Structure 1
Amino acid sequence: MSVDAKIEFPVIEFRSSDLERGTNGWHQLCKKVREACETFGCFEVVYDTISTEVREEMFRLMKELVEALELEMSPTLILLKTLLNLCGLKVTHAFGEDSLKMNYTMSMRMMKYMAPPPGEYETGLFAHTDKPVSTIICEDQIPGLEIEVNDGQWMKLTNLSPSSFVFMVGDPLKAWSNGRLKSTNHKVMMSGDKDRFSIAAFIMPNEGTVIKTPKELIDEEHPQLFKDFDFMKFFFFAFSDPARRIDSGQLLYEFAALSPPVSNAHMDK
């Protein structure tokens, strides 16, 4: 089912003047990020630091690497990884909670989606929520990414800015926020006669990281929804069984849901 045209996908500009912590611009940026992640679980990041020329060169090199099956990263891709790392840090810090700070690595993946046969329209990637903490997607202007904004309603992300990325909340960030932030259910639908290339940068907490909801986010009205859990154990749980479908965020509840939920008042007794 297509989404109501009145629903607008959030677009947030990251300007250098707003990235300094404590400024009015920073607080406004935090508010926009939080609201977008609570409502959609994702948003478009407009980040002019990476020029259109750099993006075009990046994807040209990436396509050559994919076709040649080369493993070495070019200097341009290394530059992109550094900038995505910075962007990812700014996004996660924007929630304003010190307890969100963690040691992590940035894992990058290059993806190629083949154009469907003439006259056909098919799924390039099945619907799922991401299992890393968060994801930043950079695409080469060939549309295909869709997000679920309501039950059964899908929004096609078209006309993304040439200087933008898509930030997505993953299941661990949803658990950390006690369900306040939405983990985005998304998929790739291919049409037309052109292949689609994209780069995804995943925030992966280091081994031993425990996803734990801060006490400030638990009260009588918002009881704790998820138990504290080791990120790597959850990650391996999600991908260890090929028969297990990774869709709609249900694996997070299967692995870590508390039943019944626990409030701070109950925990203090």
Structure 2
Amino acid sequence: MDVDTKFEVPVIEFRSLDLERGTDEWHHLCKRVREACETYGCFEVVYEKISTELRNKMFGLMKDLVELPLERKQKNVSSIPYHGYIGPGSLFSLLYEGFGLVDASNHDSVKNFTQLMWPDDHAQFCDTVYTMATQIEELNKLIWLIIIDSYGLRGKWELVMKHWDYERGLHAHTDKSISTIIFDNQVSGLEIEVKDSQWIKLSIYPSSFVFVVGDTLKAWSNERLKVVNHRVIMNGYKNRLSIATFTIPIEGTIIKTPKELIDEQHPQLYKDFDCNLFYLFCFFHIKKIH
């Protein structure tokens, strides 16, 4: 069931003149981002610092990856759930094919992945992924800083590492990570649930990204920030390529709600918890259901 097409997810432009911390423009931007995350659990960010040329180059190279022989793709393995290759017919979807690339802003990590997929080397793939990963990481940290400042929690949350993935065709879910940044090759398919069983499709602008609040960030914020159910629905004959960067805390990270976000109107809702144990619990719970 679709919802009224008048419903629109906020589109927020990150202009350079708004990004100087402490200015009136910065505080206005913080307010807009916070309201979007509290109300919708996501927003579209226009961020032209990451060029359209780099995005297009990235998706061209993704096609090289998808077209590799299956036996080569299956070399991308990991003992950690969701961190390796996931082929069609998995518990996610018959249409889904994903490649997990951990710590993509580390050049050695990207180089190792590249050599695994292309033993004869593919320097262009390696350099492009690394460049994109570092720029996405910068955007992600900027959004975190905005959220932290919006609550007056300057310096309260240590930034953690992130995880790259490539996705296509997913069932409805919320992300278990801290947050996710998604962009695609302009083939629509990403939808969010705005009410029970009411969905709207997001058409992302060529210079835009979607920032999605994860379950872990919701818990950290004492449910001040909202999570949004989302999915990928494919229609037609065009292949959809999307890149999602999932922020995964380093091993042993304990999520603890800051005392500044707990008061009489907002009593503490979650006990402190270990992120990795939470992710493992969710993975095996989903696997059991399927």
Aligned match of 2:247: 203
The runs of 5 or more residues in structure 2 that have no matched partner are 74-112, 115-124
Aligned match of 2:140: 88
Q: Does 1:52 align with 2:52?
A: yes
Tell me how many residue pairs correspond in the alignment: 234
Aligned match of 2:278: 234
Give 3-state SS (helix, strand or coil) of 2:248's partner.
strand
The one-letter code of the counterpart of 2:47 is Y
Aligned match of 1:143: 188
Determine the C-alpha separation between the residues in 2 that align with 1:204 and 1:236: 12
Report the CA distance shift for 1:3/1:245 in structure 2 as closer, same or farther (over 3 A).
farther
**Further displaced range: 217-226 or 29-38:** 217-226
Greater share of strand residues, 1 or 2?
A: 1
% of aligned pairs identical? 55
Q: Report the CA distance between 1:229 and its aligned residue.
A: 0.7
Q: Does 1:109 align with 2:154?
A: no
Aligned match of 2:260: 216
Determine the C-alpha separation between the residues in 2 that align with 1:29 and 1:103: 20
8 A contact 1:52–1:162 mirrored in 2:
yes
8 A contact 2:190–2:230 mirrored in 1:
yes
The runs of 5 or more residues in structure 1 that have no matched partner are 114-123, 247-269
Q: Report the CA distance between 1:100 and its aligned residue.
A: 4.8
Question: Which one of 153, 171, 192 corresponds to residue 198 of structure 2?
Answer: 153
The one-letter code of the counterpart of 2:182 is I
Q: Report the CA distance between 1:79 and its aligned residue.
A: 1.0
**Further displaced range: 165-174 or 225-234:** 225-234
**Offset from partner CA, 1:167-218 (integer Å, 9 cap, x none):** 0000010001111111121000000111100101011111121111111211
Aligned match of 2:129: 77
Aligned match of 1:193: 237
Determine the C-alpha separation between the residues in 2 that align with 1:84 and 1:147: 22
Q: Report the CA distance between 1:129 and its aligned residue.
A: 0.4
Q: Report the CA distance between 1:224 and its aligned residue.
A: 1.2
Determine the C-alpha separation between the residues in 2 that align with 1:27 and 1:5: 30
Aligned match of 2:212: 168
8 A contact 2:38–2:226 mirrored in 1:
yes
Determine the C-alpha separation between the residues in 1 that align with 2:59 and 2:217: 29
Aligned match of 2:5: 5
The one-letter code of the counterpart of 1:29 is L
- What TM-score, normalized by structure 1, do the two folds share? 0.82
Q: Report the CA distance between 1:242 and its aligned residue.
A: 4.9
Determine the C-alpha separation between the residues in 2 that align with 1:99 and 1:231: 20
Determine the C-alpha separation between the residues in 1 that align with 2:137 and 2:177: 14
Give 3-state SS (helix, strand or coil) of 2:287's partner.
coil
- What TM-score, normalized by structure 2, do the two folds share? 0.77
**Offset from partner CA, 1:107-132 (integer Å, 9 cap, x none):** 10122x3xxxxxxxxxx211100011
- Which runs of structure 1 show a deviation greater than 6 angstroms over 4 or more consecutive aligned residues? none
Aligned match of 2:96: none
8 A contact 1:210–1:230 mirrored in 2:
yes
The one-letter code of the counterpart of 2:264 is E
